[in-house]
Amino acid sequence: MSIADLRGLGVIGILLALASLPASSQEVKTSILGIHAVRSPELSLFDQHINQKILDRLLLNARRLPDVAPCDLSQPYQSVYVFGDFALTVRHFDPAVHLKCLRGVVRYVLREDLAEVDFLAARAFQARMQRESFTLDANDPERADQVAERKALLSIYRKHSPLHQLHSVDANAISMLSFDEFSLWLERSRKAGRFTFRGPRRLLEALDLPVPDPMVLQPIGLPESPRMPAGVLPFDGEAVGIAALIALFLGHDETFSIDQKAKRRFACNQDGPSHLGDGYDAVARASCRTYDHFGDIWFTMPLRKAESAPYSEFCRQVLELSRDEDIATVARFSPDGSKGLYVLVPPACKAPD
């Protein structure tokens, strides 16, 4: 299977395709079973996301079933999160046992009663992961960049839009979900047939699961999220050490790329800081990354202010940087052009220094 063949399959699709390829050794049978949850019309995307995060963790508890226990169960790494998609990797030496384990996983998703103690453990785990991802770490400056990026996106997306809801989910919201609420969502989803399975045709047929018609397009992604008009927006990132941030919407294509000269200068997706050059001495540090947030791909550049720099000069340089020719070059890769460019600045930029 060529790279061209893999394009367009999506993350889960690529994982499933790779898992179906012949292995160099037949000692261990490995399958990746994809699971998709259709959105519940009774819930907001905010609540759906919380339920899905907890279910994602609970899936590993399928190994407690007697017919699943013999197999090795894990979750494949996904570099891009696709809303509603889950996956489990199942491994065993004996093909018959391997198939039995997969049937047990399907039963766990569709019918098995889930224990409250397992729900509480999964909820605590996901709340802890969410809290840690937004907790600053002096040894990890990229953590502050990511926290500032989330703050920026919450300012860019209009309130109540799908992606504003998803970015609003925090550890407290996860911790507030009750077992009864989760159980009701799970029961409704099961009865309505909202869980579907994905994998190679041979695997789905062996599990007596419906095989999707390749000629029927499956809905992917989320409803479009309206944004604030492009331009300068207020930003409260100084609490995490990021005084300003430049953000550029790059669309939805996972195969996107940006100008190599700009990518090298801004050190995008690298550990080192960006090389802004002369004229930006009020910026103590700039970094850059391109990342897929629930299907929307963004170029972001968090900016730290030099301690000795007055706000008037820092703000002037941030605005100048947003008009830099390399930023303009990157903007040409955006389907919205300059209408996808946002400059987020601290409140002090609007006040006399």
pLDDT tens digit sequence for 137-156:
777 778 899 999 999 999 99
Long-range contacts of 262-266 (CB under 8 A, 24+ apart): 262/326, 262/327, 262/329, 262/330, 265/326, 266/301, 266/326
Residues 36-41, mean pLDDT to the nearest whole number: 92
- So what's the pLDDT on residue 28? 84
Q: Where are the beta strands (DSSP E) in 85-130?
A: 85-92
Distance CA 1, CA 13 (A): 13
Tokens 């013999």 belong to residue: 70
Using CA of residue 89, residue 93, residue 94, residue 97, what is the dihedral sign?
negative
Q: How confident is the model at residue 118 (pLDDT cuts 50, 70, 90)?
A: very high
pLDDT given at position 1: 43
* Residue 327 CB contacts under 8 Å (≥ 6 apart), including other chains: 246, 248, 262, 321, 341
* pLDDT of 2 above 50: no
For the chain, helix, strand, coil in percent to 5 are 45, 20, 40
Confidence (pLDDT) at 223: 82
Residue matched to tokens 């706000």:
311
Question: Across all residues in the chain, what is the average pLDDT?
Answer: 88
- The predicted model gives 103-114 an average pLDDT of 96
Q: What is the mean pLDDT of residues 293-300?
A: 91
Q: What is the DSSP letter of 348?
A: G
Q: From CA 297, how far away is CA 334, in angstroms rounded? A: 10
Give the domains, in start order, of the chain with CATH numbers. Answer: 3-134+170-206 (3.30.830), 231-350 (3.30.70)
Helix locations, 141-196, DSSP H: 141-156, 162-168, 171-176, 179-191
Note the residue count of the chain: 353
Task: Evaluate if residue 108 carries a pLDDT over 80.
Answer: yes
**pTM for the full model?**
0.85
Rounded to whole angstroms, the Cα distance separating 332 from 326 reads: 10
The helix (H) or strand (E) run that includes residue 244 is strand 244-251
Per-residue model confidence (pLDDT) at position 25 = 45
59, 88 contact by CB (below 8 A): yes
pLDDT in tens, 242-294: 999 999 999 887 666 788 899 899 999 888 889 998 999 999 999 999 998 88
320-326 average pLDDT score = 95
Task: Tell me how crowded residue 258 is: count the other CB atoms within 10 A of its CB.
Answer: 21
Q: Which residue has the tokens 């996106």?
A: 153
Interatomic CA distance for residues 197 and 205, integer angstroms: 11
Q: Which residue has the higher pLDDT, 215 or 318?
A: 318
Sorting pLDDT into bands at 50, 70 and 90, what band is 27? confident
Residues 65, 96: Cα–Cα separation, whole Å:
16
pLDDT value of residue 327? 94
pLDDT tens readout for residues 155-185: 999 999 999 999 999 999 999 999 999 999 9
Q: Contact, 90 vs 109, CB < 8 A? A: no
Q: Which percentage of the chain shows pLDDT scores above 90?
A: 69
